[in-house]
Amino acid sequence: MAFIDRASPTLTEILLKLYCADKPLEIDHHIYEFGSVEYHIQCHASNPQVAYLSISLPSLCQGLQSDQLSNFTIQRVKGLCPEALHIVDPPKAGYQLTLILNFNHIPPPTKDHVEIIREISTIQSVVLSCQLREMLQNVDFYKPIKFACHPREPFFLIKQPQRIIAIFPIRFRENTDVIIATAFFQELIDVGNSDKWSKAPRCSWSAIPPPELRGEAFEDLSTNGGFVSFDISSHHIEGKRLDKILWNLLNFNAYVRYHVKSTKGYIQRRMRKKLKSLVEVLHPTSIEENEQPKKLEGCRYMKKFVRSSKSKILKRRWGGFSRQIKRIRSRLQIHGFGRFRQKWLRIPKFRSKKYAKLE
């Protein structure tokens, strides 16, 4: 999941714009990102070297977690850039955290300043990872606990003495997405359970809810993409591995949707490319087929017109007219009509004149 960037791209762009601006900028922006995350950035033209950054995050676990951030989380946020970041206590109303960013303590425009600003933009990932870490380390639970980084994409964690079981209900709106995701899960299980990846957490997929979720709410178990489970052992969350595991758990649903979207785009590009090649092959042949019958019809018509004589043309015309007269059946008998028909409605006979060849 290395493609999922921890830093917010929009927040990074705005902070770089403020830092590299030639003239003082007046900014008051509200940014909403995936997962119901809200940023509020303020910078006054009277003091362009100072920016105020407030962040609001939804609670990962309703009922077991307070809205206020712990001291451990605040210290981890401050450790991103201790010289440039200062915590405002209390935070702005409606936000969990408010920071003062002093651009004077960031190095001059070099490659280092971009990395520092990108590190500051990872506030969301730091806060969410710290909240999940505290839940796993400080709370003892043997029943499924529901976590939600996004309101419509919850997942469940079950903590046991030697392992942690993570279960992800998968939901899609379109049937094509379900087909692609099912094929992806089957391949993920085959690769993840092979000998080459024996040290990775075991993965499994089921179309029905696993027995660990027995007794949960029906709305949480109603899915069309099945359930993906990961068996995380104790050695997977030791040392620096814990941060990586936590970030992967928080972004697994986003990773699946990214894979499905990329696969659909790849299939559509291949279909358009194949259709274009077929059109290029069939286009010249279709033109030849359309032009060829016209020439043949013209030749046949000319041949028939040349070969037919005047007598044959008149016979065709009078023959059609006489057949129409014969179809008439009159219920009234008209005296003398038979003689009239024999005398006047008879097809004339034309004798073809023969010419002797002059020597």
Phi, psi of 334 (to 5 degrees): -105, 120
The architecture of the domain spanning 9-131 is: 2-Layer Sandwich (3.30)
pLDDT recorded at residue 161: 80
Beta bridge partners of 101: 51, 85
Burial class (CB in 10 A: 0-12, 13-18, 19+), 129: buried
252 vs 282, which has greater pLDDT? Answer: 252
Share of the chain above pLDDT 90, in %: 18
| Distance (Å, whole) CA 48 – CA 26 | 8
pLDDT tens digits, one per residue of 220-244: 888 989 999 999 888 888 777 888 8
**122-151 average pLDDT score:** 82
Does the pLDDT value for residue 337 go beyond 60? no
| Distance (Å, whole) CA 245 – CA 132 | 11
| The domains spanning 9-131 and 141-260 adopt the same CATH topology | yes
3-state secondary structure of 324: helix
pLDDT tier for residue 319 given thresholds of 50, 70 and 90:
low
SS (H, E, C) 248-274: HHHCHHHHHHHHHHHHHHHHHHHHHHH
Average pLDDT across the chain, whole number? 79
pLDDT tens digits, one per residue of 208-222: 999 988 888 888 888
Does the pLDDT value for residue 179 go beyond 60? yes
**Has domain 141-260 been given CATH number 2.40.10.10?**
no
**297-318 average pLDDT score:** 53
Beta bridge partners of 158: 165
Does the pLDDT value for residue 3 go beyond 50? no
pLDDT recorded at residue 324: 60
| Distance (Å, whole) CA 313 – CA 30 | 89
pLDDT tier for residue 327 given thresholds of 50, 70 and 90:
low
Sheet holding 227-233, edge to edge: 145-150, 153-159, 163-169, 227-233, 202-206
Domain boundaries, the chain: 9-131, 141-260
CA-to-CA separations, 339 to 122, 324, 342, 346, in angstroms, rounded: 111, 18, 5, 11
pLDDT tens digits, one per residue of 82-125: 888 999 888 888 898 999 999 888 877 666 788 889 999 998 88
pLDDT recorded at residue 125: 87
User: Does the predicted model carry a pTM greater than 0.85?
Assistant: no
| Distance (Å, whole) CA 157 – CA 142 | 9
Tokens of 130: 């710290």
